[in-house]
């Protein structure tokens, strides 16, 4: 499914640079010992900027919910309708959710609870890679 190319800014550039190397990284606060996503200038819990660092994840998660989109306002996605939007809970921090179209999984056949693994798709406009997820195994 063709995706729009994100334009990285100062805050999320480490995330997108890692995507281009096919690595999934998110912020981790060493004071609170917790991950956070999307990126913020500092820890959203303790407010400390210096304790936030980027950490690489396993790229594994589980499907916790899903919807099927039949009527998107995004013109580039209209030819792909209907399509999946699944919520992926990360193995390292299940409170953090990333969204996926689950390429390769037909609509209405999304296995809730199934393990998924990250892949990286190249967006056509700029070549920026973005994370996507597929059912593992």
Binding site for Zn ion (CB under 5 A): 29, 31-32, 43, 45-46
Q: CB 37: neighbour CB atoms within 10 A?
A: 18
* Closer residue to Zn ion (CB): 46 or 112: 46
Residue closest to Zn ion (Cβ)? 43
In the complex, the smallest distance separating the C-beta of residue 83 from Zn ion, rounded to whole angstroms, is 36
Residue-wise DSSP of 17-45: HHHHTT--EEEEETTTTEEESS--SS-TT
Whole-angstrom Cα distance, residue 39 to residue 14?
10
Residue-wise DSSP of 53-67: EEEE---EEEEEEEE
In the complex, the smallest distance separating the C-beta of residue 28 from Zn ion, rounded to whole angstroms, is 9
In the complex, the smallest distance separating the C-beta of residue 31 from Zn ion, rounded to whole angstroms, is 4
* Closer residue to Zn ion (CB): 36 or 128: 36
* Closer residue to Zn ion (CB): 26 or 43: 43
Q: Is the omega angle on the peptide bond into residue 133 within 30 degrees of 0, that is, cis?
A: no
In the complex, the smallest distance separating the C-beta of residue 78 from Zn ion, rounded to whole angstroms, is 42
* Closer residue to Zn ion (CB): 53 or 56: 53
- Which residues are 121's β-sheet partners? 130
């Amino acid at each position: 499914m063709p995706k729009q190319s994100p334009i990285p800014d100062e805050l999320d550039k480490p995330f997108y640079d890692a995507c281009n190397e096919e690595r999934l990284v998110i912020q981790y606060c060493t004071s609170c010992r917790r991950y956070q996503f999307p990126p913020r200038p500092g820890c959203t819990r303790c407010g400390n900027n210096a304790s936030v660092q980027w950490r690489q994840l396993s790229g594994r998660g589980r499907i916790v919910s899903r919807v099927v989109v039949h009527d998107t306002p995004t013109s580039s996605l209209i030819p792909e309708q209907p399509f999946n939007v699944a919520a992926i809970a990360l193995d390292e921090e299940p409170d953090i959710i990333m969204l996926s179209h689950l390429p390769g999984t037909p609509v209405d056949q999304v296995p809730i609870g199934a393990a998924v693994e990250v892949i990286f798709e190249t967006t056509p406009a700029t070549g920026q890679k973005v994370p996507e997820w597929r059912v593992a195994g």
